[in-house]
């Protein structure tokens, strides 16, 4: 008997359709992944199954049957019984989905009490058992702690304990690990896998990550614009996709095993004749050395109580002219701190940062012309294109701002330059008069890139520039960064947690862990034959091994 049967389901928010005629079946114990980009309706589908559509969401057609029972027409009272009891949910964001003022053990116990599965007396004990089952270390002590005392991974384990507390037949996991580091993600998913198998729970995994879907699901459902475009066994759908959208999605997904891009030749060997003025303007004397040299850089923070914390500890690396050095590490590894020191936004505690031989940091250049020159030669692109563009500025003003600050050209020249830059990042000219909130995430990131290029910098520091973007858009932005490098001879310091993205773009890799460099070298050497155990662990944790060996 089928556990879940969704037939011809349509959901609308007001007049806007979010899901159109979706079909989905789930057998007991089966693991199905719903894959799609943001806005594809995958989360809405999951919420509809739980009877938890937010705001103005309404089921406008079709049926959802859970063990033969119609969920769409079920009264709220019955739905409350089903939620938790028959269907468990592991939500996306472990940071906001736990009550910050209640101990985690109590939050698990409340679920049990709400469904009458335990009495007041035994609930706390059961909660500790459940936390232990979810793989939380020292569950007895952790149960008495508050959410802020736990790490992201530990909080996600608490949410898993809550989701599985009532032994539901179906567990819906909505992007359960997208807020977590890869190695933690792997541990959590391994555990979730084992647990659902052991309990015979069916799993509906909502994810944007094709690799994850391939690794963790028996069947994959691909959604696009609210409709299911392809369904089938995971390996078959992602290995040899039939639908055009799935094909594009699979092609765009950066993969560790995918053919490495044709990278620009090494330093100096770049196509010299075709060099635009940007690269030609480079001081000739500097061409010999590296573009950026970071030597023994350290950043210490003083903690309360006088203790010191080394966020970055003796880090050294270089970025060559027209080359890309990728900076890889998990959250808290000191990647972003290092990037800010390179940009001269943070003062290092020790060590030097040199751009073309000229020191960027240090008291001597804390302000004045040297810093100004360094900043002109070096521009950032940030992770979140929604936060990095001032919402009150038009695109034209945004891109022209660095030109205004540096007094480059007059108004008309700046306008012409903005038009050229927009063209370079493949945005239509009429975007110039729009505001950032009228643009999509990918378009915004293109604007941010155009702004970074406005001053014809020699180095662009990209801090996770594609991690907030959907797979297809991510692929487009990576291509853009690549072609801009080939065209303009810019060097990139590319910070990322995603090894597959790094593989696709970088020449050299620096692997960071807890503020220290654990391994560095050419990308093929480091990712192909890692010598450090941590690098190996990182590589092994990347989902999508199933995709790598596709025919």
Residues that bind other proteins (CB under 8 A): 13, 16, 18, 36-44, 54-55, 57, 225, 343-345, 371-372, 375-376, 378-380, 382-384, 387-392, 401-402, 405-406, 430, 433-435, 437-443, 448, 451, 455, 470
Torsions phi, psi for 134 (to 5 deg): -80, 0
Closer Cβ to other proteins, 181 or 470, answer by number: 470
Tell me the closest approach of the beta carbon of residue 405 to other proteins, in angstroms.
Answer: 5
Contacts of 75 by beta carbon, 8 Å cutoff, 6+ apart: none
Tell me the closest approach of the beta carbon of residue 541 to other proteins, in angstroms.
Answer: 26
The encoded tokens of residue 277 equal 């003025």
Contacts of 104 by beta carbon, 8 Å cutoff, 6+ apart: 98, 131, 142, 143, 145, 146, 147, 150, 155, 158
Tell me the closest approach of the beta carbon of residue 376 to other proteins, in angstroms.
Answer: 7
Tell me the closest approach of the beta carbon of residue 316 to other proteins, in angstroms.
Answer: 23
DSSP string covering 496-549, please? ES-HHHHHHH-SEEEEEETTEEEEEEEHHHHHHS--SHHHHHHHHHSS-HHHHT
Closer Cβ to other proteins, 423 or 438, answer by number: 438
Tell me the closest approach of the beta carbon of residue 314 to other proteins, in angstroms.
Answer: 25
Closer Cβ to other proteins, 94 or 441, answer by number: 441
Tell me the closest approach of the beta carbon of residue 282 to other proteins, in angstroms.
Answer: 20
**Rounded distance, CA 257 to CA 268, Å?**
29
Tell me the closest approach of the beta carbon of residue 41 to other proteins, in angstroms.
Answer: 6
Cβ atoms of 321 and 267 within 8 Å: the answer is: yes
What is Dmax (Cα atoms) for the chain?
A: 80
Closer Cβ to other proteins, 246 or 383, answer by number: 383
Closer Cβ to other proteins, 391 or 533, answer by number: 391
Closer Cβ to other proteins, 419 or 539, answer by number: 419
Tell me the closest approach of the beta carbon of residue 526 to other proteins, in angstroms.
Answer: 28
Closer Cβ to other proteins, 41 or 62, answer by number: 41
**Rounded distance, CA 377 to CA 44, Å?**
45
Tell me the closest approach of the beta carbon of residue 57 to other proteins, in angstroms.
Answer: 8
Cβ atoms of 6 and 50 within 8 Å: the answer is: no
Closer Cβ to other proteins, 13 or 146, answer by number: 13
Nearest-CA neighbor of 83 among 150, 169, 9, 194? 169
Cβ atoms of 205 and 34 within 8 Å: the answer is: yes
Closer Cβ to other proteins, 312 or 452, answer by number: 452
Closer Cβ to other proteins, 367 or 549, answer by number: 367
**Rounded distance, CA 532 to CA 125, Å?**
42
Cβ atoms of 231 and 222 within 8 Å: the answer is: yes
**Rounded distance, CA 304 to CA 413, Å?**
51
Nearest-CA neighbor of 107 among 142, 158, 148, 157? 158
DSSP string covering 343-408, please? TTSS--SEEEEEETTEE-SSGGGSSSHHHHHHHHTEEEE-S-TTTSS-TTS-HHHHHHHHHHHTT-
Instruction: Give the position of tokens 């290029």.
Output: 453
Closer Cβ to other proteins, 129 or 384, answer by number: 384
Q: Is 295 helix (H, G, I), strand (E, B) or coil?
A: strand
The encoded tokens of residue 351 equal 């060590």
Torsions phi, psi for 179 (to 5 deg): -95, 5
The encoded tokens of residue 317 equal 């690396």
Torsions phi, psi for 443 (to 5 deg): -65, -40
Closer Cβ to other proteins, 198 or 430, answer by number: 430
Tell me the closest approach of the beta carbon of residue 497 to other proteins, in angstroms.
Answer: 18
Tell me the closest approach of the beta carbon of residue 353 to other proteins, in angstroms.
Answer: 14
Tell me the closest approach of the beta carbon of residue 196 to other proteins, in angstroms.
Answer: 24
**Rounded distance, CA 468 to CA 458, Å?**
25
Closer Cβ to other proteins, 34 or 109, answer by number: 34
**Rounded distance, CA 490 to CA 484, Å?**
8
**Rounded distance, CA 461 to CA 424, Å?**
18
Say if strands 508-513 and 516-522 run parallel, antiparallel, or are unpaired. Answer: antiparallel
Cα–chain-centroid distance for residue 292?
27
Tell me the closest approach of the beta carbon of residue 337 to other proteins, in angstroms.
Answer: 13
Cβ atoms of 499 and 539 within 8 Å: the answer is: yes
Tell me the closest approach of the beta carbon of residue 442 to other proteins, in angstroms.
Answer: 8
Closer Cβ to other proteins, 78 or 371, answer by number: 371
């Amino acid at each position: 008997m089928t556990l879940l049967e969704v037939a011809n389901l349509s959901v609308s928010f007001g007049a806007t359709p979010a899901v159109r005629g979706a079909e989905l079946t789930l057998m007991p114990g089966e693991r199905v992944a719903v894959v799609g980009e943001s806005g594809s309706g995958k989360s809405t589908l999951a919420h509809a199954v739980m009877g938890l559509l937010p705001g103005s969401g309404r089921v406008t057609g079709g049926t959802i049957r859970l063990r033969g029972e119609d969920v769409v027409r079920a009264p709220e009272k019955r739905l409350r019984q089903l939620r938790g009891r028959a269907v468990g949910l592991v939500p996306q964001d472990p940071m906001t989905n736990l009550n910050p003022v209640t101990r985690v053990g109590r939050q698990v116990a409340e679920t049990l009490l709400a469904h009458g599965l335990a009495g007041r007396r035994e609930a706390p004990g059961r909660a500790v058992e459940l936390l232990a089952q979810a793989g939380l270390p020292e569950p007895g002590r952790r149960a008495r702690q508050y959410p802020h005392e736990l790490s992201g991974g530990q909080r996600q384990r608490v949410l898993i304990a809550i989701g599985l507390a009532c032994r539901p037949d179906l567990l819906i996991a909505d992007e359960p690990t997208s807020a977590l580091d890869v190695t933690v993600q792997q541990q959590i998913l391994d555990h979730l896998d084992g647990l659902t198998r052991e309990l015979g729970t069916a799993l509906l995994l909502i994810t944007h990550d094709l690799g994850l879907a391939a690794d963790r699901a028996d069947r994959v459902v691909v959604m696009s614009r609210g409709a299911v475009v392809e369904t089938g066994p995971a390996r078959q759908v992602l290995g040899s996709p039939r639908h055009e959208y799935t094909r594009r999605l699979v092609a765009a997904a950066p993969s560790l095993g995918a053919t490495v891009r044709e990278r620009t030749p090494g330093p100096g060997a770049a196509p010299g004749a075709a060099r635009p003025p940007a690269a030609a303007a480079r001081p000739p004397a500097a061409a010999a050395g590296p573009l950026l040299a970071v030597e023994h850089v350290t950043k210490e923070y003083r903690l309360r109580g006088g203790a010191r914390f080394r966020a970055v500890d003796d880090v050294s690396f270089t970025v060559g002219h027209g080359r890309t050095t990728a900076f890889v590490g998990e959250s808290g590894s000191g990647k972003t701190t290092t990037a800010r020191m390179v940009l001269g936004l943070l003062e290092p505690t020790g060590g030097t940062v040199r751009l073309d031989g000229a020191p960027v940091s240090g008291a001597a250049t804390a302000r004045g012309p040297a810093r100004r020159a360094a900043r002109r030669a070096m521009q950032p692109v940030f992770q979140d294109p929604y936060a990095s563009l001032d919402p009150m500025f038009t695109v034209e003003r945004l891109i022209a701002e660095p030109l205004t600050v540096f007094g480059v050209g007059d108004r008309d020249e700046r306008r012409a330059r903005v038009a050229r830059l927009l063209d370079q990042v493949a945005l239509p000219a009429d975007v110039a008069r729009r505001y950032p909130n009228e643009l999509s995430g990918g378009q915004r990131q293109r604007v941010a890139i155009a702004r970074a290029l406005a001053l014809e910098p020699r180095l662009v520091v990209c801090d996770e520039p594609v991690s907030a973007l959907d797979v297809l858009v991510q692929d487009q932005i990576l291509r853009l960064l690549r072609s801009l490098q080939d065209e303009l001879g810019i060097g990139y310091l590319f910070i990322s947690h995603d090894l597959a993205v790094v593989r696709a773009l970088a020449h050299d890799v620096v692997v960071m862990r807890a503020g220290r460099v654990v391994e560095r070298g050419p990308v093929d050497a480091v990712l192909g034959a890692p010598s450090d155990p941590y690098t190996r662990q990182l590589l092994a944790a990347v989902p999508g091994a199933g995709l790598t060996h596709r025919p």
